[in-house]
Amino acid sequence: MRKTLFDRLTPAAREQLMQEKSKYTFTVHNILESLSDAKYWSDLTIEQANRVLLYSNCDMFGVDRYTYRTLMYGDDRIIEPENDII
């Protein structure tokens, strides 16, 4: 059984989301819910993917959230791949 995106969050991304949760409780709750429901990055809407990138502060660990590739396919510095697929 494939793990959810939430289960495959990298420790750095998870930590950043939890820090943001204190300021943006509702939004981060919705992000975590979306990640818990999705098994593939492509299961997320563009808005959900953008919010994951924005609120995980992914630029802090080298991810450029403004590229088409990152938005559409995710990044292994945010979500750990399973069978080479995010």
Task: Give a yes or no: residue 85 inside a domain.
Answer: no
Domain span at residue 45 reads 11-73
Tens-place pLDDT, residues 12-32: 999 999 999 999 999 999 999
Instruction: Give the residue-averaged pLDDT of 38-59.
Output: 92
What are 63's two structure tokens? 């991810």
- pLDDT for 66 equals 78
Tens-place pLDDT, residues 58-73: 777 677 777 888 889 9
Task: Give a yes or no: residue 17 inside a domain.
Answer: yes
Q: Which residues pair with 31 in a beta bridge?
A: none
- pLDDT for 81 equals 95
- Number of domains observed in the structure of the chain: 1
Task: Give a yes or no: residue 79 inside a domain.
Answer: no
Task: Give a yes or no: residue 33 inside a domain.
Answer: yes
- pLDDT for 58 equals 78
* Contact by Cβ (8 Å): 58, 13: yes
- pLDDT for 71 equals 85
Q: Which residues pair with 85 in a beta bridge?
A: 82
Task: Give a yes or no: residue 55 inside a domain.
Answer: yes
Contacts of residue 82, defined as CB under 8 A and 6 or more positions apart, other chains included, come to: 2, 3, 8
Residue type, 68: Y
Name the DSSP letter for residue 45: -
Task: Give a yes or no: residue 44 inside a domain.
Answer: yes
